[in-house]
Amino acid sequence: MSPRAPEILVFDSGIGGLSIARCLHRQVPAARLTHLADNAGFPYGNQAEETVIERTVGLVTEQLRQRPVDVIVLACNTASTVALPALRAATDIPVVGVVPAIKPAAALSGNRRIGLLATPATVRRPYLEGLIGEFAGDCRIVRVGHPDLVTWIEEWARGRPMPEPALSVALQPFREAAVDTMVLGCTHYPLITGVLQRLLPDVRFWVDSGEAIARRTLHLLEVAGFDREEMQRYPGSGHRCLFSGPVMDDIDHFLDALGFVRE
């Protein structure tokens, strides 16, 4: 058993990775978490693939030079589908990526009507078709790629009101299709699950990738020699949130609620 606490680096273009960090803290409470947000490049969905690869690999490897970690979690759907191979080639540290939770959603859905709320980039990517074909071929998948929701959530975390009337309009295709299961296909979206549940009260199941990513991370830490019982017994501390660009102080209250300190 390793005598030290495991170190996990969570990377995202914005604060969405904090939803994954929340799941990691529940399943691996002893771990020390560093959340690195590339807010200078936010949002990744609007960037060229070459830019996403360059920024992801560059920022993560620079952080590793400053503070070694045991597992890297690429908590961004766009970066996972574009930059994951390049990042794995650049480091020997295990890297966990994120994909929309189509498989568990198909296992849960009763009426075989599943909603996917994601970014426009995620909705367009060919890998999504592969997931649907492999795991949900008998389901109707209703997709909404919202161009502004990640920005709304970033602003909401800073104390701005969520434009719920506009969000409700965007969610209308899910009501019309009577979906019983919703896939939150962006790591930002679980941060506002309560809002979404209020606007879509007839949805029975809400699915995201956070818990699966945390389970995978826990397994990789065990492979690295950390003891499962020790990792789940003692709560860690010193969780940090780093930003590639300037961040206003009004994010601190949101980070405090999740146990992170801005650095």
Q: Where in the sequence numbering do the catalytic residues fall?
A: 76, 186
Nearest to 31 by CA among 239, 254, 248: 239
Residue 237: count of CB within 10 angstroms of its CB? 10
Half-sphere exposure of 241 (CA within 13 A, CB side): 27
Opening angle at CA 26, ends 76 and 71, nearest 5: 50
d(CA 253, CA 178): 37
- Cβ contact 191:18 at 8 Å: yes
Omega within 30 of 0 (cis) for the link into 173: no
Which amino acid is residue 201, in one-letter code?
A: P
d(CA 70, CA 113): 39
**What DSSP string describes 119-164?**
-HHHHH-HHHHHHHHHH-TTSEEEEEE-SSHHHHHHHHHTTPPP-H
Sheet holding 71-74, edge to edge: 95-96, 71-74, 7-12, 32-37, 240-243, 261-262
